[in-house]
A and B are shown apart, each in its own frame.
Chain A
Amino acid sequence: MSRFVHAHRGVAYADVRFEVMFHRSGAATNGEPRDSTETESAGFCVSVHAGAGNSIGHGQVGMEIGRLGLNEKKIVAEIRRGLEEAYNRARISAREKAAFLKRFGARAGSLIGGAFEPRAPIRDEVAAVYRQDPRTLDPEDLKRITLEASREVKGLGRDIAFNAVAATCELRHELFVSSEGSLISQAFAFSQGDVYVVAQSGEGHQESYDTIGQQRGFESIAEGWREELLANPSLSAFAVGLAKEAQELAAAPVLKPPGREVTVVTDPHFNALVAHEIVGHPCEADRALKMEAAYAGRSWLLRAIDDNEIGKAVGSPLLSAVSDPTLYGYGHYRYDHEGTPGKRVAHIDRGIFRGFMNSRATAAALGVVPNGSARAAEVYQVPLIRMSNTFFLPGETPPEKIIGEVEHGYYVCGHQIPSIAESRENFRISARRVYEIDHGRIGQLYRSGSVIADSKRFFMSVDAVGNDLSLVAIPNCGKGQPMQVKRMSNGGPTLRSRAYLGGG
């Protein structure tokens, strides 16, 4: 890295991320084996900021190199080649930008962003957490666990039309090296179980899917994990639970929406998707600064640098939300992919909006300190601003009391599909189960229900927050162009608010 910087004119910054990964997975459908894979891979990404004249350009190169990662000479040669290519790209872009600035003059005055504030180098090493090293996991164990779970689901009856159970175990080891002198080594163990079930009963049918995931060894999926914040049953119990629920739902009536605003009590699993879509994504500074405007949209929390919700009430005083990578959720990490230490970011503090997750460039644009939220889904991709563990903070009220106080309303459980407006200023999120609440008691179960609300109005109307915080593993958050699919956690406690309901 230091040789490259010294040998190339105009390099303002450069970094290299290198990763090796071991991956093992298995899948079964309808009680029969379907898939088993074992992969070892390696890849890298280099990023160069270089100037030409008075402008800075940026270039990146990402490559999957596989077994070449075993050969030190070849790795160095490939990375060197990548740095040269990224440098050339940065120079081309800087020249084009300089010509553009010359042509448009003051009208292109905003084209100054992107420079990093210099900072002190960091050197650290972070180990993965597991009881059994994923590389030593017997492939037969993983095949057997998915097969047994799928067989158990199939055995529930003929109304289970289809089921698929998959399990994954990974060990990833990343190295980050920057021209500022940082050298950070981080390792992660990921274990995940996914279940998909189609149940049908008479004219009704229900498709349900869900995931359990831990940044731990596969024992956390095979045997279950009982830690309070992100607990999960064993894969087999999880699959059977989801399938039984799908059977019940297939036989339940479709929700007929009441056509007026009603009291809704939403459970932690449903609130995970609310936290994800309505707090997490709009709190990504790249989205807030319009960098995602052509794809995933903007943010309801920032209209312009000087016209935003920072310091203003966006929710009731009972509502607080944070992103916290330091917790051992599915989105845990110590350093982001720009080498910035991850830390808890307060988004909503007792109803007041406090700020965004950011990267070094967006922090500079917003005039704040980087908070370590820039991460790539795969090593060969550029870092984007991503959620870590993003959730609503708990209150003090037991969920039974929150439901018990409702004269008439609906208890909304389990998230399914989100549909949100472009800046996420409103949403329709479908639930797996909706129960009617009558005089504080849970009554009729409905399927195909959804909650429809204006985001701010929904948050301002929160009048009860439960003491039952839990996180949910989100395995597939998509963002960027090309799409990056990332793992994280979302969650919250039980909430009570007002909303419209949608039906099927």
Chain B
Amino acid sequence: MIRTSELKSFAREATAIVARDKDVAQFEIYCASGDNSIARLNYTSDIPCRGVEELKSHSADGFQIRIVTKRNAHEVGTACEAGDFSAEAIRTVLARAYRSTIVDPHFSGFPTEPRKLAVTKLEKSDLARASDVSLVDAAWSILRGAIGAFARSEVAARPHPALVVGGDVSVFRDRIAIANSNFADIRTDESAHFSSSVTALIESLDAKGTASAVGRTVADMRRVAARLGREAAGRALRMHHGVRPEAKTYRVVLGPQPVAEIINYMILGSLTTGAFHAASSAYHGKFGAEVMDRRLSLWDNPVLRTGAVIRAITCEGIPAKRIDLIRDGKLVGLMSNFYDSHRLATDEERAEKLGMPAEKVPMFPALSGYRLGEGGGRRFDQSPGSSGTNIVMKARGGIDDDAVIRKLRDGLYLGRVWYTYPINGQRAGDFTCTVSGDSYVIRNGRLAEPIAPNALRINSNIENVFRGMIAAGKRSHSAIVWGSSESFHVPAIACEGITVAVVGKGEDKPPG
């Protein structure tokens, strides 16, 4: 990886070169260095395997130049380059940016505020320097935990127990430097975190257990590696020979992972200025209105001290700070980047799209303008999109997780879902997903029989989950969603009227 100081120095050099170009009115230089290392678990007791797949990594260093020409304040060009941080590369990219110019009448320039950034001291993660040995060791440690826990069970003695342990330990590191012609300084940021997700399947028992963690230090990674495999295998052992509840509409407790998954796939995309402009938000025409239960609030906090990722600035150079999205059930904020903020503010249809008089439409600050690649690291070649960092949901009057289950009395506890998709488009809010593990029947306010994995499919709508809430936990648990750039801190939620269909074993049936 390239050091932050080197990125900054390059951004300064590029600034000097681009500023000298007589046809450039405004410009932005964005440099990023990213690295993602992954040790992937692949243990199958009954099939030849490698245990831990190759330790793999992907590094990408590069820069992007955006220019606005003097000819036209809306004529903008973008180009980027990987690997080469030389003066010649700057000139090549500048020429390419000229070739790529378009006249976009809605392009309003680059951020101007603050002109000089107050220095923020954020704690640096030692994962930035973590060695390959620590990552490989963490992966094998997870396997040792899982197989050790499994070996102590009676199932292990059977001829074909069919234990499967999958998942990964991943370390994400990124560094950026950004300059633009409106800023008086060159801004930098860096972050590093790990995530680990472990799935243990005992196929002879039709059982599945999972465990996951995120963190910011090597010590955390070592600590969670020692327990995650054991936890996942232990959960799978407790889930054996689950029942297959009938298809109908249930009262349901959604555990933190399903809540995070539904927020990720069904809610966040609707809470952006881009979605409102495209008339594709599930909250179309409902800005300022109550869209969730009054006890629920949702926000993104990139500077959350306990968050897996801490970001000091966005990828547009704007100081990162908390943005409230839902407050006491009302839709009060949207994630946005600089372009989309301006685009929605000047959208002639904004009153209809937001559901409020045009003169009352607020200016949405560009607090979520990140340039992220697959998996969430900052990349030099991405355009600014609107993404969260640490998504937090809290419930006013939240109760202990056990009390949530007691309050439901009879129904289902769904601890893990898979493949959540907006089945009829984002705006409709309809979704479907499969209940894939860690789930139980709730009887008389207690967890009763485990539910077989992949036996139920939820067919519902976001309204049923977030407006039909009975109770929520007071504790927000961290949760990971596969492929998501955000990390989640969410409670368990009990809700009315969640329709489930029975799937698998050739008995696929929608409810009644």
Interface residues of A (CB under 8 A from B): 26, 32-39, 41-43, 47, 57-69, 85-86, 88-90, 92-93, 96-97, 99-100, 103-104, 107-108, 110-114, 139, 143, 161-162, 164, 196, 198, 200, 205-207, 257, 259, 289-295, 297, 303-305, 361, 364-365, 380-382, 416-423, 425-426, 428, 430, 447-448, 450, 452-454, 456-457, 478, 481-485, 500, 502, 504
Known A-B contacts: A207-B425, A448-B428. Give 16 more (CB < 8 A). Answer: A67-B82, A67-B84, A85-B132, A89-B136, A96-B136, A107-B151, A114-B48, A290-B201, A294-B41, A382-B54, A419-B457, A422-B454, A456-B506, A481-B168, A500-B508, A502-B432
Interface contact B54-A304, CB-CB below 8 Å: no
Q: A65-B83, A89-B55 are in contact. Are A34 and B278 (CB under 8 A)?
A: no
Interface contact A207-B482, CB-CB below 8 Å: no
Interface contact B432-A419, CB-CB below 8 Å: yes
Q: Which A residues are CB-close (under 8 A) to B46? A: 110, 304-305
* A-B contact list, 13 entries, CB within 8 Å: A33-B103, A38-B100, A42-B82, A60-B55, A92-B55, A110-B45, A161-B279, A162-B277, A293-B199, A304-B47, A365-B47, A502-B510, A504-B430
B422 — nearest CB in chain A belongs to which residue? A417
Interface contact A59-B434, CB-CB below 8 Å: no
Contact residue among B47, B62, B201 (Cβ-Cβ distance under 8 Å from A66): B62
Which residue among B56, B78, B434 has the maximum number of chain A CB atoms within 10 Å of its CB? B56
Interface contact B504-A421, CB-CB below 8 Å: yes
Give 1 or 0 for each of B36-73: 1 = CB within 8 Å of chain A CB: 10101111111111111111111111100000000000
Interface contact B80-A457, CB-CB below 8 Å: no
Q: Which B residues are CB-close (under 8 A) to A297? A: 418
Interface contact B42-A291, CB-CB below 8 Å: yes
Asked if B114 lies at the interface with its beta carbon under 8 angstroms from chain A, I say: no
Contact residue among B59, B277, B482 (Cβ-Cβ distance under 8 Å from A62): B59
Interface contact B82-A66, CB-CB below 8 Å: yes
Asked if B167 lies at the interface with its beta carbon under 8 angstroms from chain A, I say: yes
Interface size class for chain B? 35 or more
Q: Which B residues are CB-close (under 8 A) to A418? A: 419, 421
Q: A37-B100, A289-B47 are in contact. Are A68 and B423 (CB under 8 A)?
A: no
Which 7 A-B pairs have CB atoms at the shortest separation, nearest pair first? A66-B82, A113-B48, A294-B166, A58-B54, A66-B83, A207-B425, A161-B279
Asked if B92 lies at the interface with its beta carbon under 8 angstroms from chain A, I say: yes
Asked if B170 lies at the interface with its beta carbon under 8 angstroms from chain A, I say: yes
Contact residue among A32, A42, A198, A290 (Cβ-Cβ distance under 8 Å from B278): A198
Q: Which B residues are CB-close (under 8 A) to A257? A: 510
Nearest-neighbour CB distance to chain B for A286, whole angstroms, equals 9
Q: Which A residues are CB-close (under 8 A) to B441? A: none
Interface contact B166-A419, CB-CB below 8 Å: no
Interface contact A482-B151, CB-CB below 8 Å: no
Contact residue among A62, A304, A453 (Cβ-Cβ distance under 8 Å from B160): A304
Give the docked Cα–Cα distance between A26 and B82 (Å): 20
Q: Which A residues are CB-close (under 8 A) to B101? A: 36
Contact residue among A26, A59, A426 (Cβ-Cβ distance under 8 Å from B504): A426
Interface contact A67-B132, CB-CB below 8 Å: no
Interface contact A100-B457, CB-CB below 8 Å: no
Interface contact B166-A292, CB-CB below 8 Å: yes
B161 — nearest CB in chain A belongs to which residue? A107
Give the docked Cα–Cα distance between A293 and B168 (Å): 11
